[in-house]
C-alpha cells in the first residue's frame, strides 16, 4: 500500500476546503453526519478549515436506522462543538413508497433514503449560504459504492483522493472518538448491512488491489504473483467496471458536422 504523510495531507485538505469555499464566495460547510468515520473526518477537517461556527451538521435518520448511528453522530457533534440539527427523513421517503410502490425492496428504499438526505442537505446549503461537502473516499468512488445523486452528490469531495484505510489514519490523527473508529463501516440503509459484507472484501484488501491495479498500473499477473486471489482481483475489477458511469458526467452525443 502507498505511504503518505498523513499530517501533511491534513493540511492539504484543510486548504482545499478553504479554497473551494472562497472560489464559490461562500462561508459555510454543510455536512451530513451519519455517525460513520468518513463524515466525522470531513466535519473535523471543516472545523479546522473555517471554525466550528461555520460547519453545519445534519443528522438525517430513517425510522429503521440503527440507534448507534444517531448516538455516534451526536457524540461527534458534541466533540467538535458544531451545531447539528436532526431531521428525520421517514415521512418524505415513506409517502412515496406507501402510496405507489409498497412492494419495493431494501435496495430501492435505501437509494431513496440516500437521495432524500442529499435533498435536505442542498436545501440547507441554500439556507446557510454554504457548500455541501461530500464524504466519499477514493475506495468508494473507484468501486461505485455510492448512490448516484445521493451520497455521491456534493459540491466537492475533501476525502475523494484518499483510500478508506487512510481515512482511518486521519481519524486517529484528528482524535475522532474511538467508538466511531472501531465500529464496522456501514451505510445503514437496511438492517445488518455493512460495507465489507456487501462488497465481499475488507477495506484493507480492497485498497491494496485498487492501489496496485489502478494507481500503480501493475499487471494482473504481477498482482496474482504477489499472493492475491484471482477471485478478489476479479471482484475489484467488476466493481470498478460496473460503476464507470458514476465517475463521469452523463455522456452525450456531439453534433454531426456536415
Average pLDDT of the chain? 95
pLDDT tens digits along 88-145: 999 999 999 999 999 999 999 999 999 999 999 999 999 999 999 999 999 999 999 9
Residue 239, Cα to own-chain centre: how many angstroms? 16
Phi/psi at 159 (nearest 5 deg)? Answer: -105, 10
Domain 6-247 - what CATH class?
alpha beta
Cα separation, 229 vs 207, in Å, equals 14
Q: Is the pTM of this model over 0.75?
A: yes
62: left (phi over 0), alpha (psi -120 to 50) or beta: beta
pLDDT tens digits along 217-244: 999 999 999 999 999 999 999 999 999 9
pLDDT tens digits along 197-223: 889 999 999 999 999 999 999 999 999
DSSP state of 168: H
Q: With b meaning 16 or more CB within 10 Å and e meaning fewer, what string describes 175-200?
A: ebeeebeebebbbbbbeeeebbeebe
Q: Which three cell numbers stand for residue 191?
A: 438492517
Which is it for strands 130-132 and 28-32: parallel, antiparallel or unpaired?
parallel
**Cα within 13 Å of Cα(99), Cβ side:** 6
Amino acid at each position: 500500500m502507498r505511504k503518505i504523510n498523513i499530517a501533511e495531507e491534513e493540511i492539504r485538505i484543510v486548504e482545499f476546503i478553504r479554497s473551494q469555499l472562497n472560489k464559490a464566495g461562500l462561508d459555510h460547510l454543510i455536512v451530513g453526519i451519519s455517525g460513520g468515520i468518513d463524515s466525522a473526518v470531513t466535519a473535523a477537517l471543516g472545523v479546522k478549515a473555517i471554525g466550528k461556527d461555520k460547519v453545519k451538521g445534519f443528522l438525517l435518520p430513517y425510522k429503521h436506522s440503527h440507534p448507534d448511528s444517531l448516538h455516534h453522530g451526536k457524540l461527534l457533534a458534541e466533540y467538535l462543538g458544531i451545531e447539528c440539527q436532526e431531521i428525520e427523513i421517514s415521512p418524505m421517503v415513506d409517502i412515496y413508497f406507501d402510496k405507489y410502490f409498497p412492494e419495493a425492496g431494501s435496495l430501492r428504499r435505501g437509494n431513496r433514503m440516500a437521495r432524500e438526505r442529499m435533498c435536505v442537505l442542498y436545501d440547507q446549503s441554500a439556507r446557510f449560504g454554504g457548500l455541501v461537502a461530500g464524504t466519499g473516499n477514493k475506495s468508494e468512488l473507484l468501486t461505485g459504492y455510492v448512490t448516484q445523486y445521493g451520497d455521491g452528490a456534493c459540491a466537492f469531495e475533501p476525502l475523494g483522493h484518499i483510500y478508506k484505510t487512510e481515512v482511518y489514519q486521519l481519524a486517529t490523527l484528528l482524535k475522532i472518538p474511538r467508538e466511531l473508529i472501531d465500529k464496522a463501516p456501514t451505510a445503514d440503509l437496511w438492517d445488518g448491512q455493512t460495507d465489507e459484507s456487501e462488497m465481499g472484501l475488507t477495506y484493507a484488501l480492497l485498497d491494496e488491489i485498487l492501489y496496485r491495479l489502478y494507481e500503480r498500473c501493475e499487471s494482473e499477473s504481477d498482482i496474482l504473483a504477489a499472493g492475491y486471489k484471482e477471485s478478489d482481483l476479479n471482484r475489484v475489477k467488476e466493481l470498478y467496471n460496473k460503476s464507470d458511469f458514476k465517475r463521469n458526467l452523463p455522456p452525450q452525443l456531439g453534433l454531426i458536422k456536415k
